[in-house]
Amino acid sequence: MTTTVTTRPSPTAHTARRLGEALLTMAGVFWAIAVVAVVIATLVAWRVAGSVDVSIAVYARQAAIWFPFSLGILVVAAYLRVHIASGMTRRTFVRAALLVEVAAGVGYAAVFTAVALLERAIHDALGWESVMTEIQLADESTSAGVMLLELAVTFVVANLSGLLVGAVFHRYGAWGGMLSLPLTVGPLVLLLYIPGARFVDLPGIWTTTPAGHLALAVTVGTVLAGAMAAVFAAIVLRLQLPPAP
Amino acid sequence: MFDGRDPVYLQIADQIRQDVLSGALEAEEQVMSTTQYATTFRINPATAAKAFTQLVDEGVLYKRRGVGMFVAPGARERLLAEARESFFADTVDPVADAAHVLGIDIEDVVARLRVRAAHPPVVAAPVDAPESAAGGTR
Amino acid sequence: MTAATTAWGVELQHVTQRYGDVTALDDVTLTIRAGTITGLLGRNGSGKSTMGSLLAAFRRPTAGRVLVDGEEPWENERVVPGVCFVRESGDVLDDYSLKDNLAYFSGARPWFSHELAGELLDLFELDLQRKPSKLSRGKKSAFGIVVGLASRAQLTILDEVHLGLDAPSRYAFYDALLADYAEHPRTIVLSSHLIDEIERLLEEVVVLDRGRVLVTQDVEGLRAEGVSVTGPAAAVADFVAGRDVLATQRLGGTTQTTVRGALLEGDVRRAREAGLELGPVPLQDLFVHLTDPGRTGGAGADVQGADR
């Protein structure tokens, strides 16, 4: 009697693919709605004000931060227990989740930048300006590269923050999760307002130039991302599944 | 099936011995596999395997690797001989002892046995009877 | 990934598992022989589910070592894909269809059989398009069985997977289990309260009681140790003197006493001469007697079980 063996993908690849597909579907839904919303808002503003001199697309930034953040929480809530029960290690889950969420953050940033630039091109063609009223480093003259970089760092931190919150809730339950929100979400909020530093006089030469601000944001963001990934991994690698309800 | 009080593997072994004795299983005939026993009677295949091991030790079955368990040539004769052995010890001796205890003359017992043998009740054909040409089973 | 050709054995060495101040397993040492169908029996709270959790690396023991195929399963990339613990709650993706669930599991289990999964889905009449959250208790259990058997894990632990299944479905499950086990031998640990039904499926049995091991033995041996002695009260009392008495029933002048212990040839003759009737004891009854709190009450007062 023989036991046929299915060639199976590595657990990390299998999980990353599964999570990736789920997030991709959600991203499709999100951006479809976002683009439609931006178009409708633009048309309405045009009707009302005669011309649209602000970037509407940039208002999607908050949504593009908090929606993936909540998906990060869901990824842990829905998949971690089943992952372990399916005979895979926590290690592979951590790798796959981090891989996918970082990729998602960069992906959202790329799409966002593309949408913003497209909008800018359309406004230019119509003779409008594209003032960005959201507090962030990019403004109407910012290059695509700067916008992409700043958004990528922000979105990746948001995604990792979601994973971390999900892991904390899984491990420490509802109370522990909520009480630790300042620690798990706080850094993300902090990051969002670093760009505001350019409106305030902060000591140090690096805060006085746009490049300096960008460098500060990217550095802080990267450090935060690394720290969150490390804490997320530490929690998950030690996670013991609760007894069946 | 196999609901008796003895361990299941003993019941299976008994059943196979009976089948060999009665001719239901002939020499070199294949016995059901442990898998077939398991799925037919809803028992653990190891239970059937245990019965087979015992029967192999007794020389009733032998194993053909990769094929299955077969009735050993001469198994029936061997079982018959054993049954005959124990017949005298387990059945005849107690009769003689009982007759002695009851004060019955042993010659009366012998006469009775002769009468009975001359007019046997309708039962299954004696084990020794040559197989009829038409009645060869399997 | 190479096919595993040798079955996986299990060893627990002085394993203790505590949840806060509740001790679910108390210094448990036992072995489960590779390639057998072993019954894991015990009352609610005896520690059976905890043991499953430890074997599947859902948790680490508070103390002691758990060994699956000679290694500790915790975060063990070689061992963990070969251990499948199907528990009552069902660890499946609740908001995805059964089809998606199976696609997920088949990618994670090296020995997964789509053919077997298909047969079992038909057998239990499960609709691939439905989601586990929308299934009845019985269908959920059935899906657990599909996953547990089709995964063909070298160590498969099925914990009360029959809940909600009607009798015909249960028997279909037993048949499917035996058939696949015969074709693809592996180590199967079966936990069930319906001991009468599963008795003949088992080769060996482990009985847990309040976190401690009461029995680890082959089923035939354990069964052989149970004897019911029926007859006149005095004769029975005389016969069972000095033996391990499990239970006694009286009806008028007749007593039926269940004892545990092997009977010698001389004992059988003695019983016959005393006019006593000896009978077998079903495993279910043996289990009830052995785990009777009145009998095992001597175990430490503060050792409490938790069905975890």
Q: Is B20 helix (H, G, I), strand (E, B) or coil?
A: helix
Which of C22, C44, C71, C93 to mutate to probe the A interface, most A CBs <10 Å? Answer: C93
Which of C203, C205, C223, C229 to mutate to probe the B interface, most B CBs <10 Å? Answer: C203
Which of A83, A87, A237 comes nearest C83 by C-beta? A87
C contacts of A8 (beta carbons < 8 Å): 1, 107-110, 112
Q: What is the pLDDT of residue B49?
A: 95
Token pair 């590779």 is found at C34
Q: What is the CATH number of the domain that holds B35?
A: 1.10.10.10
Residue A206 — pLDDT band, cuts 50, 70, 90? low
Residue B69 domain-assigned? yes
Residue B84 domain-assigned? yes
Token readout for B14 is 């008994």
Distance of alpha carbon C191 from alpha carbon C163, whole angstroms: 11
Cβ-defined contact of C174 to B42 (cutoff 8 Å): yes
Distance of alpha carbon B3 from alpha carbon C78, whole angstroms: 43
Q: Where are the domains of chain C?
A: 10-221, 225-296
- Residue B82 sits in the same domain as residue B57: no
Token readout for C238 is 């005389």
Distance of alpha carbon A76 from alpha carbon A83, whole angstroms: 10
Distance of alpha carbon A168 from alpha carbon A228, whole angstroms: 11
H/E stretch holding B85 reads: helix B75-86
Residue A142 — pLDDT band, cuts 50, 70, 90? confident
Distance of alpha carbon B8 from alpha carbon B29, whole angstroms: 23
**What residue numbers bound the domain in which A136 lies?**
12-36+52-237
Chains touching B (at least 3 CB pairs under 8 A) are C
DSSP state of C74: T
Task: Characterize the bridge pairing of strands C187-191 and C37-42.
Answer: parallel
Chain A residues with CB within 8 Å of chain C CB: 1-9, 11, 14, 18, 78-79, 81-92, 237, 240-241, 243-245
Question: Would you say C192 and C160 are in contact if contact means Cβ atoms under 8 Å apart?
Answer: yes
Residue A1 domain-assigned? no
Closest Cα of chain C to B136: distance in Å?
33
Question: C-alpha angle with apex C229: C227 to C230, nearest 5 degrees?
Answer: 145
**Torsions phi, psi of A18, nearest 5?**
-60, -50
A contacts of C56 (beta carbons < 8 Å): 85, 87
Token readout for C286 is 């043996």
C contacts of A3 (beta carbons < 8 Å): 3-5, 111, 152, 184
Which of C202, C223, C279 comes nearest B44 by C-beta? C202
- What pTM does this model have? 0.86
C contacts of B48 (beta carbons < 8 Å): none
Calculated CA dihedral for residues A114, A115, A117, A122, nearest 10 degrees: 140
Distance of alpha carbon C157 from alpha carbon C151, whole angstroms: 11
Q: Which of A100-114, A143-157, C48-62 has the lowest mean pLDDT?
A: A143-157
What's the mean pLDDT in A198-213?
A: 62
Q: Tens digits of per-residue pLDDT, B52-109?
A: 999 999 999 999 998 999 999 999 999 998 888 888 888 888 888 888 888 999 999 9
Q: What is the pLDDT of residue A60?
A: 87
Helices (DSSP H) in chain C: which residue ranges? 48-55, 98-108, 114-123, 137-150, 167-183, 195-198, 219-224, 233-240, 265-273, 283-290, 293-296
Q: What is the pLDDT of residue A2?
A: 40
b/e sequence C261-294, b meaning 16+ C-beta within 10 Å: bebeeebeeebeeeebebebbebbbbbebbbeee
**What residue numbers bound the domain in which B14 lies?**
8-73
Q: Residue A18 CB: number of other CB atoms within 10 A? A: 21
**Nearest Cα residue in chain C from A18:** C104
Cβ-defined contact of B42 to C280 (cutoff 8 Å): no
Look at residues A160, A114, A112, A118 and name the one whose alpha carbon lies nearest to residue A136.
A112
Provide the residue type at A65 as one letter: I
Cβ-defined contact of B44 to C223 (cutoff 8 Å): no
What's the mean pLDDT in B102-118?
A: 91
C contacts of A245 (beta carbons < 8 Å): 89
**Nearest Cα residue in chain C from B6:** C280
- Residue B69 sits in the same domain as residue B107: no
Where is the domain boundary, B55, B73, B91? B73
Question: Would you say A180 and A168 are in contact if contact means Cβ atoms under 8 Å apart?
Answer: yes
Look at residues A164, A224, A152 and name the one whose alpha carbon lies nearest to residue A190.
A224
Which of C60, C85, C106 comes nearest A240 by C-beta? C60
Residue A132 domain-assigned? yes
Report the mean per-residue pLDDT for chain A: 87
Distance of alpha carbon C174 from alpha carbon C179, whole angstroms: 9
Q: Residue C298 CB: number of other CB atoms within 10 A? A: 7
Distance of alpha carbon A217 from alpha carbon A192, whole angstroms: 9
**Nearest Cα residue in chain B from C173:** B42
Residue B93 domain-assigned? yes
* A152-156, C1-5, C244-248, range with greatest mean pLDDT: A152-156
Question: Would you say C193 and C161 are in contact if contact means Cβ atoms under 8 Å apart?
Answer: no
Distance of alpha carbon A27 from alpha carbon A35, whole angstroms: 12
Look at residues C245, C272, C269, C278 and name the one whose alpha carbon lies nearest to residue C259.
C245
Contacts of A21 (CB under 8 A, 6+ apart): none
What's the mean pLDDT in C252-266?
A: 85
What's the mean pLDDT in A142-167?
A: 91
- Residue B109 sits in the same domain as residue B65: no
H/E stretch holding B96 reads: helix B93-102
Q: What is the pLDDT of residue A20?
A: 95
Closest Cα of chain B to C255: distance in Å?
20
Q: What is the pLDDT of residue C296?
A: 65
Token readout for C242 is 């000095």
Helix C98-108 and helix C137-150, axial crossing angle in degrees, nearest 10:
30
C contacts of A14 (beta carbons < 8 Å): 107-108
Cβ-defined contact of C200 to B47 (cutoff 8 Å): yes
Residue A24 domain-assigned? yes
C contacts of B41 (beta carbons < 8 Å): 200
Q: Does domain C10-221 have CATH number 3.40.50.300?
A: yes
Distance of alpha carbon C210 from alpha carbon C47, whole angstroms: 7
B contacts of C174 (beta carbons < 8 Å): 42
**Nearest Cα residue in chain B from C228:** B5
Residue B130 domain-assigned? no
- Residue B107 sits in the same domain as residue B83: yes
SS (H, E, C) C123-146: HCCCCCCCCHHHCCHHHHHHHHHH
**Nearest Cα residue in chain C from A93:** C75
Q: Domains in chain B: how many in total?
A: 2
Q: Residue B117 CB: number of other CB atoms within 10 A? A: 8
Cβ-defined contact of C107 to A2 (cutoff 8 Å): no
| pLDDT reading at C302 higher than 50 | no
Token readout for A23 is 């997030």
Token readout for C209 is 């009681």
Closest Cα of chain A to C5: distance in Å?
8
Token readout for A139 is 């403004």
Q: Tens digits of per-residue pLDDT, A84-140?
A: 999 999 999 999 999 999 999 999 999 999 998 898 888 888 888 777 776 676 666
* A6-10, C153-157, C228-232, range with greatest mean pLDDT: C153-157
Q: Tens digits of per-residue pLDDT, C107-139?
A: 999 999 999 999 999 999 999 999 999 999 999
Which of B39, B44, B46 comes nearest C175 by C-beta? B39
Q: Domains in chain A: how many in total?
A: 1
Distance of alpha carbon A57 from alpha carbon C301, whole angstroms: 68
Residue range C225-296, CATH number: 3.30.70
Q: What is the pLDDT of residue A3?
A: 46
Q: Give the CA count within 13 Å in the CB-facing half-sphere of A241.
A: 31
Q: How far apart are the first and last CA of chain A?
A: 39
Closest Cα of chain C to A180: distance in Å?
22
C contacts of B9 (beta carbons < 8 Å): 220
Helix A60-85 and helix A90-125, axial crossing angle in degrees, nearest 10:
160
Cβ-defined contact of B43 to C183 (cutoff 8 Å): no
Q: Which of A131-145, B15-29, C89-103 has the lowest mean pLDDT?
A: A131-145
SS (H, E, C) A182-237: HHHCHHHHHHHHHHHHHHCCCCCHHHCCHHHHHHHHHHHHHHHHHHHHHHHHHHHH
Residue B136 domain-assigned? no
Look at residues A68, A219, A199 and name the one whose alpha carbon lies nearest to residue A139.
A199
Closest Cα of chain C to A17: distance in Å?
10
**Nearest Cα residue in chain C from B9:** C220
A contacts of C89 (beta carbons < 8 Å): 244-245
Q: What is the pLDDT of residue A141?
A: 66
- Residue B59 sits in the same domain as residue B96: no
- Residue B40 sits in the same domain as residue B84: no
Residue C81 — pLDDT band, cuts 50, 70, 90? very high
Q: Tens digits of per-residue pLDDT, B36-48?
A: 999 999 999 999 9
Provide the residue type at A219 as one letter: T
Distance of alpha carbon C181 from alpha carbon C188, whole angstroms: 8
Which of C36, C200, C203 comes nearest B42 by C-beta? C200
Closest Cα of chain A to C58: distance in Å?
5
Cβ-defined contact of C37 to B44 (cutoff 8 Å): yes
Residue C303 — pLDDT band, cuts 50, 70, 90? very low
What's the mean pLDDT in C144-150?
A: 97
Token readout for C45 is 């709270």
Which of C182, C202, C220 comes nearest B38 by C-beta? C182
Question: Would you say A81 and A8 are in contact if contact means Cβ atoms under 8 Å apart?
Answer: no
Distance of alpha carbon C88 from alpha carbon B37, whole angstroms: 30
Look at residues C6, C83, C95, C44 and name the one whose alpha carbon lies nearest to residue C208.
C44
